[in-house]
Structure 1
Amino acid sequence: MRSIIIAAALALSAFTAQAAEPIEGNWKTASGATAQIAPCGGAYCVTLKSGKHNGKQIGKMSGSGESYKGEITDPETDKTYAGSGSVSGNSLKMRGCVMAVLCKTQTWSRL
């Protein structure tokens, strides 16, 4: 009986790990800070976990798979832009745009 319970717990934890969206996790930003992306209110919140702006939420995105859209805030200027994120393996391309024509892209690495 005990081995069945342990096997069921292992299967459940494996399913839970696979169910996470690719964008979830900790990422090294272009500035070297760590950003955590985690579910929040039906979307994914981007919160800095290290560096000068530790604890500041800098974005909120919705989506699934490889493509996400929402808003991203530059913590240095506190300006918010239309944002998008694209996951490819252990890389996340974060893009922020003003009026959909002036855009800046950064590549973050999964930690």
Structure 2
Amino acid sequence: MRSSLAAATALTMLYLASPAAVQASPIEGNWKADDGKSVIQFYPCGAQMCGKIARFLVPEPAGGARDTENPEKALRNRKLLGLRIFWNLAPRGTRFKGKGYSPEDGRNFNAEVWREGNVLKVKGCVLVICRTASFTRV
């Protein structure tokens, strides 16, 4: 009886003990998108992180690339260069979780961003369909 009480007490103490805080690796900086077409800059915005299209690695059309796939007609003429496409990225364990926007198809998505060494992983999910891309440091 005493050994089971001691075991239960030990398990309870382990359960209640505060684990070491696990922090997300920094994502700030410039990262080349996996399609090789653009550089995304992740930067602090308030207490969270954001990401914008910092530059294109392919020629833009005359007048600049536009947000032509946006579901809101009023936004279809805005320039993509400098457009914030990640926002509200807050650290949650080893990852940053927030929102994202894909100018290629005009969709918002739930975003997760994390580092694996020198690679930045970006996971986007719309409903139950997810895609993960690997960005490289510029």
Same fold (TM over 0.5): yes
1:105 matched to 2:132? The reply is yes
Query: Unmatched 5+ residue regions in structure 1?
Result: 1-20
**Structure 1 position 29 matched with structure 2 position 33:** yes
Q: Which runs of 5+ in 2 are unaligned?
A: 1-24, 57-64, 66-79
Matched, 1:38 2:66: no
- Higher RCO, Cα 8 Å, sep 6+: 2
Q: How far apart are the structure 2 equivalents of 1:54 and 1:36?
A: 11
Deviation at 1:77, TM superposition (A): 2.1
Match of 1:85 in 2: 113
CA–CA separation in structure 2 for the residues paired with 1:54 and 1:31: 16
- Displacement of 1:94: 0.4
Q: TM-score, normalised by structure 2?
A: 0.60
CA shift, 1:62, in A, is 1.0
**Regions of 4+ moved over 2 Å:** none
> For residues 34 and 119 of structure 2, what CA distance do their matches in structure 1 show?
11
Letter in 1 for 2:84: Q
Please point out which of 82, 97, 118 is paired with 1:55.
82
CA shift, 1:66, in A, is 3.7
Where is the strand percentage greater, Structure 1 or Structure 2?
1
Q: Which structure has the bigger radius of gyration?
A: 2
Contact between 2:51 and 2:86, CA under 8 Å: does it hold in 1?
yes
CA–CA separation in structure 1 for the residues paired with 2:41 and 2:124: 18
Relative distance call for 1:87 and 1:66 in structure 2 (3 A) is farther
Q: Which residue of 2 aligns with 1:95?
A: 123
> Which residue in the other structure is 1:68 paired with?
96
Aligned pairs, how many?
90
Root-mean-square deviation over aligned CA pairs: 1.6
Q: Is the CA contact 1:22–1:65 (under 8 Å) kept in the aligned structure 2?
A: no
